[in-house]
Amino acid sequence: MTSYLTSRVLQAIITIIGISIVVFALSRLSGDAAALLIPPDASERDRLALREQLGLDKPIIVQYALFLKGALSFDFGNSFRFGKPALDVYMERFPATLQLAFVASLISAGVGVLIGVYSAVKSGGLTDRAANLVALMGQAIPSFAISILMIVILAVEFRLLPTSGMGDWTSFIMPAIALSWYSLASLTRMTRSSMHDVLDTEYVRLARLKGLPERTVIWKHAFRNAMLPILTLFSLQLVFFISGSVIVESIFAWPGVGQLSIQAIQARDYPLVQAIVFLSSVLLVALNLGVDVLYGFIDPRIRLS
């Protein structure tokens, strides 16, 4: 268990360093950052002074070291657009994103697992067909297309739900469905195939022979063993909640980090872009690490090896 954990933590650190390089490169890819900040008719002396102040006159490796030092203490400098630390701007928007992601992950894990399990148990039945449809639709319709179709049907034609913004619980429905859309489909698919494999095994047949109630057989004997691949997939899906929020939030005008990231990129607000990309990536790495640790608890084969 210890060596397993050590290797996961080590990988997480390497990943964060890798991400910091990509994030650092972002601001340098776009050319001279100083040119963005001062008017084109500024004097050469002002320009040099600003470059020095931003640390742009130092060798690239020193610049990176300074950036990394700042990033590790979550200091990305002031947002150009908001005029306050990028971290503060990020934290202001984060709760809205977190709430939406939470509701969406409940939908995809809850509904996906439920449909998946029942479609595997009653193979060929109505639920199975529904699961098949969900899986196919989820992978073929991008989240922005389903968002717009929902707006057309639910908000504009039938006027059941608000079109955008964050308000009472009804405003969560469409964005949460859109955000969970893709992951719901693949979780359904994975749960079904994983349950199929498990239901075929000797110990499930034995449990049935013993006369255990079907519900105990399914949830206690079969599902527990089918859970690992489902959990693996769910941890891989966390990335879709972060990536997806960029699109879903900008469609539904959701006041979260996803919408902020588009605004920051369009405004070339690099400190803010860097803060968002770095913090979201670190969050993702931490979540994945958490799932890896969870594995150890669920699967004795990992814990004891």
Partner 1 sequence: MTQLSLDAGTPVSISSRIRTLLKRWPVGSIAILIVLLVLGVFAPFLEPHNPDTPQIMKAHRPPVFLGGTWDYVLGTDDLGRDNLSRLISGARISLLVGFAVVLGAGSIGTVLALLAGYFGGIVDIIISRMTEVFVAVPFLLVAIAVVGAVGASTTNLVLTLIFMTWAGYARVLRAEVLRLRELEFVKLAKVAGCSNMRILFHHILPNIVNPLVILATLQLGATIVIEASLNFLGLGVPAPQATWGGMLAAGKNYIGFQDSLVIIPAIAIFLVVLSINLLGDWLRLRLDPRFRQL
Binding site for partner 1 (CB under 8 A): 11, 14-15, 18-19, 22, 26-27, 29-30, 123-124, 128, 132, 136, 139-145, 148-149, 151-152, 156-157, 190, 193-194, 196-197, 200, 228-229, 232, 239, 242-244, 246-247, 250-251, 261-262, 265-266, 268, 273, 276-277, 280-281, 284-285, 288, 295, 299, 301-302
Q: In this complex, which beta carbon is closest to partner 1, that of residue 78 or of residue 232?
A: 232
Q: In this complex, which beta carbon is closest to partner 1, that of residue 44 or of residue 140?
A: 140
Exposed (0-12), middle (13-18) or buried (19+): which is 49, by Cβ within 10 Å? Answer: middle
Residue 86 contacts residue 158 (beta carbons within 8 Å): no
Q: How far is the CB of 22 from partner 1 (least distance, A)?
A: 6
Q: How far is the CB of 45 from partner 1 (least distance, A)?
A: 28
Residue 174 contacts residue 253 (beta carbons within 8 Å): no
In angstroms, the CA 131 to CA 125 distance is 10
Q: How far is the CB of 144 from partner 1 (least distance, A)?
A: 5
Q: How far is the CB of 133 from partner 1 (least distance, A)?
A: 11
Question: Number of C-alpha atoms within 13 angstroms, CB side, residue 59?
Answer: 2
- What contacts 240, CB < 8 A, 6 or more positions away? 182, 183
Q: In this complex, which beta carbon is closest to partner 1, that of residue 89 or of residue 246?
A: 246
Write phi, then psi, for 85 (nearest 5 degrees). Answer: -50, 135
Q: How far is the CB of 85 from partner 1 (least distance, A)?
A: 19
Token pair for 285: 């790495």
Q: In this complex, which beta carbon is closest to partner 1, that of residue 106 or of residue 294?
A: 294
Q: Which residue has the tokens 């369009």?
A: 266
Residue 171, beta-bridge partner list:
none
Q: In this complex, which beta carbon is closest to partner 1, that of residue 49 or of residue 173?
A: 173
Q: How far is the CB of 43 from partner 1 (least distance, A)?
A: 27
Q: In this complex, which beta carbon is closest to partner 1, that of residue 41 or of residue 200?
A: 200
Q: In this complex, which beta carbon is closest to partner 1, that of residue 176 or of residue 275?
A: 275
Q: How far is the CB of 250 from partner 1 (least distance, A)?
A: 7
Q: In this complex, which beta carbon is closest to partner 1, that of residue 130 or of residue 141?
A: 141
Q: At what angle do helices 257-266 and 86-121 cross, to 10 degrees?
A: 130
State whether residue 236 is helix, strand or coil.
helix
By residue count, the chain amounts to 305
Q: In this complex, which beta carbon is closest to partner 1, that of residue 16 or of residue 49?
A: 16
Alpha helices in the chain (DSSP H): 2-29, 33-37, 44-54, 60-72, 86-121, 126-140, 143-150, 170-199, 202-209, 214-216, 224-251, 257-266, 270-298, 300-304
Q: How far is the CB of 172 from partner 1 (least distance, A)?
A: 20
Q: How far is the CB of 86 from partner 1 (least distance, A)?
A: 13
Centre a 10 Å sphere on the Cβ of residue 138 and count the other Cβ atoms it contains.
22
Token pair for 198: 């498990």
